[in-house]
Amino acid sequence: MNLPALPRRYHAASIRLLYAAGLAPAAWGFYLGATGQLVGNPVKIFEHLLGEWALRFLILTLLISPIRDIFGINWIRYRRALGLLAFWYVLMHFLAYMVLDKRLALDVIVEDITKRWFITIGMAAFVALIPLALTSNRWSIRRLGPKWTKMHRLIYPIAAAGALHYCLSVKVIGPEQMLYAALVVILIGWRLVRRYYMEWTRGKRAGPASDGQASRAKRRS
């Protein structure tokens, strides 16, 4: 698939636009809650909104590589921004839970983390995401070398933990929770089979070239 390439001079601006668009749902949700336009429990609604967007950005981060591998569309330049947006939404989700929901009652928060499994899983995912966010820069890539790639593969179990946290946080698992969980499972599965797919596509591309070379050699002989 050949899409028009974005001129290089617009790359930085497009990434800034992605950050602005990515943070817009949080700003809009906060505005609705602050102005009393969230019907029901505004704190819980806002908290869940942040968590859902965190999971969406995790999934979008994982989608970048399959889109490039299967369709040849290279959006790698946006992967770091999507991953950082996921982190900021997880952080805001956690702060909304601590400050707005539990009002910094540390004893209640600790009890929740230790006794409610979906919160334990969510907290573990958040803690694991912190080093990935801190090392999402060129200096860390150069400094860590191959270790950086191994560290950032943690995004897959983090996404799985995020999907599990989301499913366990609701009383009834509905189509939306099932969709997110299925997407995460598919993306993790893709990671497991990617090497075989890439080898197959390389062999498929090399096949016609090899056949052409063989036929030309046969004609010369």
State pLDDT tens for residues 54-77: 999 999 999 999 999 999 899 999
The pLDDT tens digits for 28-41 are: 999 999 999 998 89
Give one word for 36, left, alpha or beta, with left for phi > 0 and alpha for psi -120 to 50: left
Q: Give the model's pLDDT for residue 13.
A: 94
* Closest by Cα among 148, 127, 125 to 137: 148
What per-residue confidence (pLDDT) applies to 215? 53
Comparing CA positions, the residue from 117, 6, 93, 90 lying closest to residue 43 is 93
pLDDT of residue 129: 97
pLDDT range class, residue 10, cuts 50, 70, 90: confident
203 band by pLDDT with thresholds 50, 70 and 90: confident
The pLDDT tens digits of the residues spanning 184-199 come to 999 999 999 998 988 8
Average pLDDT over residues 40-46: 93
Per-residue confidence (pLDDT) for residue 1, from 0 to 100? 55
Burial class (CB in 10 A: 0-12, 13-18, 19+), 102: middle
In the chain, what are the helix, strand and coil shares in percent, each to the nearest 5?
85, 0, 15
Mean of per-residue pLDDT scores for the chain:
91
Mind listing the pLDDT tens digit for each residue in 66-119?
A: 999 999 899 999 999 999 999 999 999 999 999 999 999 999 999 999 999 999
Q: Say yes or no to pLDDT of 166 above 60.
A: yes
pLDDT score for 51: 97
* Residue 213: pLDDT over 60: no
